[in-house]
Amino acid sequence: MRLISYNVNGIRSALKKGFLDWLKSDPADIICLQETKAEKENVDHSLIDALGYQNYWYSAQKKGYSGVAIFTRRQPDALFYGNGLMQSDAEGRVIRADYGSVTLINAYFPSGTSGDERQTYKYQWLDEFYDYLQTLRQTRPNIIVCGDYNIAHMDIDIHNPKGNKKSSGFLPEERAWLTKFVESGMIDTFRHFQPDPHHYSWWSQRFPSVRKENKGWRIDYFMVTESLKSRLKGAAIHPDIQHSDHCPVYVEIDF
Protein backbone atom coordinates (compact mmCIF):
# COMPACT_ATOMS: atom_id res chain seq x y z
CA MET A 1 0.00 0.00 0.00
CA ARG A 2 1.24 3.48 -0.92
CA LEU A 3 0.42 6.16 1.66
CA ILE A 4 0.85 9.92 1.63
CA SER A 5 0.54 12.47 4.43
CA TYR A 6 0.08 16.06 3.33
CA ASN A 7 -0.71 19.29 5.19
CA VAL A 8 -2.53 21.16 2.43
CA ASN A 9 -2.93 24.44 4.37
CA GLY A 10 -6.51 24.73 3.15
CA ILE A 11 -7.96 22.17 0.74
CA ARG A 12 -9.86 24.81 -1.24
CA SER A 13 -6.67 26.79 -1.75
CA ALA A 14 -4.82 23.62 -2.78
CA LEU A 15 -7.54 22.76 -5.31
CA LYS A 16 -6.97 26.13 -6.98
CA LYS A 17 -3.26 25.31 -7.25
CA GLY A 18 -3.67 22.00 -9.09
CA PHE A 19 -4.28 19.55 -6.23
CA LEU A 20 -6.87 17.65 -8.28
CA ASP A 21 -4.49 17.21 -11.22
CA TRP A 22 -1.94 15.79 -8.79
CA LEU A 23 -4.60 13.45 -7.38
CA LYS A 24 -5.31 12.24 -10.92
CA SER A 25 -1.66 11.18 -11.20
CA ASP A 26 -2.34 8.32 -8.73
CA PRO A 27 0.17 9.40 -6.06
CA ALA A 28 -0.99 6.86 -3.44
CA ASP A 29 -3.66 4.38 -2.37
CA ILE A 30 -4.37 6.32 0.83
CA ILE A 31 -3.87 10.06 1.27
CA CYS A 32 -4.07 11.65 4.71
CA LEU A 33 -4.61 15.40 4.74
CA GLN A 34 -4.17 17.88 7.56
CA GLU A 35 -5.28 21.49 7.94
CA THR A 36 -8.12 21.04 5.47
CA LYS A 37 -9.82 24.21 6.81
CA ALA A 38 -13.15 23.09 5.35
CA GLU A 39 -16.09 20.80 5.87
CA LYS A 40 -16.85 18.10 3.32
CA GLU A 41 -20.04 19.77 2.14
CA ASN A 42 -18.06 22.94 1.32
CA VAL A 43 -15.93 21.09 -1.24
CA ASP A 44 -17.01 19.46 -4.51
CA HIS A 45 -15.95 16.01 -3.38
CA SER A 46 -17.68 14.37 -6.38
CA LEU A 47 -14.44 15.08 -8.27
CA ILE A 48 -12.54 13.12 -5.62
CA ASP A 49 -15.13 10.32 -5.69
CA ALA A 50 -14.73 10.07 -9.47
CA LEU A 51 -11.05 9.22 -9.02
CA GLY A 52 -11.96 6.23 -6.86
CA TYR A 53 -11.20 7.77 -3.48
CA GLN A 54 -13.65 7.34 -0.66
CA ASN A 55 -13.16 10.43 1.47
CA TYR A 56 -13.72 10.86 5.18
CA TRP A 57 -13.48 14.26 6.85
CA TYR A 58 -13.20 15.37 10.45
CA SER A 59 -13.45 19.12 10.63
CA ALA A 60 -13.00 21.63 13.42
CA GLN A 61 -16.03 23.28 14.98
CA LYS A 62 -14.45 26.63 14.14
CA LYS A 63 -14.95 27.46 10.45
CA GLY A 64 -11.84 27.61 8.28
CA TYR A 65 -9.60 26.08 10.92
CA SER A 66 -7.61 22.87 11.34
CA GLY A 67 -9.32 19.64 10.22
CA VAL A 68 -8.16 16.27 8.88
CA ALA A 69 -9.32 13.95 6.12
CA ILE A 70 -8.54 10.54 4.66
CA PHE A 71 -8.90 9.79 0.93
CA THR A 72 -8.71 6.04 0.41
CA ARG A 73 -9.18 3.57 -2.43
CA ARG A 74 -9.50 0.72 0.04
CA GLN A 75 -12.55 0.55 2.26
CA PRO A 76 -11.55 0.73 5.94
CA ASP A 77 -12.97 -1.91 8.25
CA ALA A 78 -13.70 0.77 10.84
CA LEU A 79 -13.48 4.55 11.19
CA PHE A 80 -13.15 6.63 14.34
CA TYR A 81 -13.56 10.39 14.38
CA GLY A 82 -11.49 12.06 17.09
CA ASN A 83 -9.68 10.50 20.04
CA GLY A 84 -12.20 11.30 22.77
CA LEU A 85 -10.39 14.37 24.10
CA MET A 86 -12.66 17.39 24.15
CA GLN A 87 -10.49 20.22 22.86
CA SER A 88 -8.62 18.04 20.37
CA ASP A 89 -11.90 16.80 18.94
CA ALA A 90 -13.37 20.31 18.79
CA GLU A 91 -10.35 21.29 16.71
CA GLY A 92 -10.68 18.27 14.37
CA ARG A 93 -7.19 16.91 14.96
CA VAL A 94 -7.42 13.10 14.78
CA ILE A 95 -9.10 10.60 12.46
CA ARG A 96 -8.45 6.86 12.58
CA ALA A 97 -9.02 4.09 10.04
CA ASP A 98 -8.54 0.37 10.66
CA TYR A 99 -7.51 -1.93 7.81
CA GLY A 100 -7.45 -5.50 9.02
CA SER A 101 -4.83 -5.69 11.78
CA VAL A 102 -3.34 -2.30 10.87
CA THR A 103 -4.54 0.97 12.41
CA LEU A 104 -3.86 4.23 10.58
CA ILE A 105 -4.03 7.45 12.60
CA ASN A 106 -3.98 10.76 10.76
CA ALA A 107 -3.17 13.59 13.19
CA TYR A 108 -2.66 17.33 13.00
CA PHE A 109 -0.55 18.24 16.03
CA PRO A 110 -1.10 21.75 17.44
CA SER A 111 1.30 24.57 16.72
CA GLY A 112 2.57 26.82 19.48
CA THR A 113 3.72 29.66 17.25
CA SER A 114 0.83 32.01 18.08
CA GLY A 115 1.81 32.46 21.73
CA ASP A 116 2.23 30.99 25.20
CA GLU A 117 -1.37 29.84 25.55
CA ARG A 118 -1.20 27.66 22.45
CA GLN A 119 2.27 26.41 23.35
CA THR A 120 0.92 25.32 26.73
CA TYR A 121 -1.95 23.55 24.99
CA LYS A 122 0.51 21.91 22.61
CA TYR A 123 2.31 20.30 25.54
CA GLN A 124 -1.03 19.18 26.98
CA TRP A 125 -2.07 17.72 23.63
CA LEU A 126 1.22 15.85 23.24
CA ASP A 127 0.86 14.21 26.66
CA GLU A 128 -2.79 13.33 26.05
CA PHE A 129 -2.03 11.90 22.60
CA TYR A 130 0.84 9.82 23.97
CA ASP A 131 -1.44 8.29 26.59
CA TYR A 132 -4.20 7.72 24.02
CA LEU A 133 -1.79 5.86 21.76
CA GLN A 134 -0.29 3.72 24.51
CA THR A 135 -3.77 2.62 25.53
CA LEU A 136 -4.71 1.86 21.92
CA ARG A 137 -1.55 -0.21 21.40
CA GLN A 138 -2.75 -2.69 24.02
CA THR A 139 -5.49 -3.86 21.64
CA ARG A 140 -4.18 -2.57 18.26
CA PRO A 141 -0.40 -3.18 18.22
CA ASN A 142 0.14 -2.46 14.50
CA ILE A 143 -0.19 1.31 14.26
CA ILE A 144 0.80 3.99 11.74
CA VAL A 145 0.74 7.59 12.99
CA CYS A 146 1.07 10.09 10.17
CA GLY A 147 0.58 13.81 9.93
CA ASP A 148 1.97 17.22 10.65
CA TYR A 149 3.69 16.81 14.03
CA ASN A 150 4.76 20.46 14.13
CA ILE A 151 8.09 19.34 15.64
CA ALA A 152 11.49 19.03 13.98
CA HIS A 153 13.15 16.22 15.89
CA MET A 154 16.91 16.45 15.38
CA ASP A 155 19.40 19.06 14.16
CA ILE A 156 19.41 17.20 10.85
CA ASP A 157 15.68 17.92 10.48
CA ILE A 158 15.96 21.71 10.35
CA HIS A 159 17.99 24.08 8.19
CA ASN A 160 19.17 26.35 11.01
CA PRO A 161 19.17 24.46 14.33
CA LYS A 162 21.27 27.01 16.22
CA GLY A 163 19.07 29.91 15.21
CA ASN A 164 15.84 28.08 16.10
CA LYS A 165 16.63 26.70 19.55
CA LYS A 166 13.98 29.01 21.05
CA SER A 167 11.44 28.58 18.24
CA SER A 168 8.21 26.67 18.75
CA GLY A 169 8.54 23.42 16.87
CA PHE A 170 12.18 23.01 17.89
CA LEU A 171 12.02 23.63 21.62
CA PRO A 172 13.90 21.16 23.87
CA GLU A 173 10.66 19.98 25.53
CA GLU A 174 9.02 19.24 22.18
CA ARG A 175 12.03 17.40 20.86
CA ALA A 176 12.27 15.42 24.12
CA TRP A 177 8.64 14.37 23.69
CA LEU A 178 9.35 13.13 20.18
CA THR A 179 12.39 11.24 21.44
CA LYS A 180 10.17 9.60 24.08
CA PHE A 181 7.63 8.78 21.39
CA VAL A 182 10.25 7.05 19.23
CA GLU A 183 11.76 5.24 22.21
CA SER A 184 8.32 3.88 23.11
CA GLY A 185 8.64 1.67 20.03
CA MET A 186 7.90 3.91 17.04
CA ILE A 187 9.96 4.03 13.84
CA ASP A 188 10.53 7.25 11.90
CA THR A 189 10.04 5.67 8.48
CA PHE A 190 11.86 8.32 6.47
CA ARG A 191 14.96 8.10 8.65
CA HIS A 192 14.71 4.30 8.48
CA PHE A 193 15.61 4.61 4.79
CA GLN A 194 17.31 8.01 4.51
CA PRO A 195 20.01 9.20 6.96
CA ASP A 196 21.15 12.20 4.91
CA PRO A 197 20.46 15.89 5.72
CA HIS A 198 18.65 18.60 3.74
CA HIS A 199 15.31 16.81 3.42
CA TYR A 200 12.45 19.02 4.58
CA SER A 201 8.65 19.03 4.40
CA TRP A 202 7.80 22.64 5.37
CA TRP A 203 9.14 26.06 4.41
CA SER A 204 8.13 29.41 5.90
CA GLN A 205 5.81 31.51 3.75
CA ARG A 206 7.17 34.69 5.32
CA PHE A 207 10.24 34.46 3.12
CA PRO A 208 9.34 33.09 -0.36
CA SER A 209 12.96 32.39 -1.26
CA VAL A 210 13.49 29.80 1.50
CA ARG A 211 11.75 27.02 -0.39
CA LYS A 212 13.78 27.66 -3.51
CA GLU A 213 16.90 27.64 -1.33
CA ASN A 214 15.63 24.57 0.60
CA LYS A 215 15.85 26.25 4.01
CA GLY A 216 13.11 24.24 5.68
CA TRP A 217 11.99 22.01 8.50
CA ARG A 218 11.05 18.32 8.50
CA ILE A 219 7.90 18.28 10.64
CA ASP A 220 5.68 15.81 8.72
CA TYR A 221 6.12 12.14 9.53
CA PHE A 222 5.04 8.58 9.10
CA MET A 223 5.81 6.81 12.37
CA VAL A 224 5.00 3.10 12.70
CA THR A 225 5.18 0.64 15.58
CA GLU A 226 8.17 -1.70 15.66
CA SER A 227 5.83 -4.57 14.79
CA LEU A 228 5.50 -3.11 11.26
CA LYS A 229 9.24 -2.65 10.64
CA SER A 230 9.61 -5.72 8.43
CA ARG A 231 6.69 -4.56 6.26
CA LEU A 232 8.27 -1.22 5.30
CA LYS A 233 9.15 -1.01 1.61
CA GLY A 234 10.20 2.62 1.14
CA ALA A 235 9.75 6.22 2.20
CA ALA A 236 10.21 9.60 0.53
CA ILE A 237 9.53 13.33 0.68
CA HIS A 238 8.24 15.15 -2.42
CA PRO A 239 9.29 18.83 -2.25
CA ASP A 240 8.46 19.32 -5.95
CA ILE A 241 4.72 19.09 -5.13
CA GLN A 242 3.74 22.66 -4.26
CA HIS A 243 0.08 23.22 -3.38
CA SER A 244 0.97 24.29 0.16
CA ASP A 245 3.77 25.52 2.41
CA HIS A 246 4.20 21.80 3.21
CA CYS A 247 4.87 18.99 0.74
CA PRO A 248 3.67 15.37 0.72
CA VAL A 249 5.57 12.70 2.63
CA TYR A 250 5.31 9.11 1.43
CA VAL A 251 5.65 5.58 2.72
CA GLU A 252 5.09 2.19 1.15
CA ILE A 253 4.11 -0.60 3.52
CA ASP A 254 2.76 -4.13 3.19
CA PHE A 255 -0.62 -4.21 4.89
Tens of pLDDT along 182-220? 999 999 999 999 999 999 999 998 888 999 999 999 999
Residue 206 confidence (pLDDT)? 87
Tell me the sheet residues that pair with 67.
none
Residues of the chain predicted below pLDDT 50: none
- The greatest distance separating any two alpha carbons of the chain, rounded to the nearest whole angstrom, comes to 47
CB 72 within 8 A of CB 30: yes
Output the pLDDT for position 142: 98
Among this protein's residues, is 127 annotated catalytic? no
pLDDT digits (tens, 9 = 90+) for 78-112: 999 999 999 999 999 999 999 999 999 999 999 99
Looking at residue 119, its pLDDT comes to 98
Crossing angle (nearest 10°) for helices 116-137 and 172-183: 0
> What was the pLDDT predicted at 45?
87
> Do β-strands 142-148 and 220-225 pair in parallel, antiparallel, or remain unpaired?
antiparallel
User: % helix / strand / coil in the chain, to the nearest 5?
Assistant: 30, 25, 40
Candidate list 148, 157, 220, 245, residue with the active-site label: 148
Q: What is residue 59's three-state secondary structure? A: coil
CA distance 141 to 133: 10
Q: What CATH architecture applies to the domain 2-253?
A: 4-Layer Sandwich (3.60)
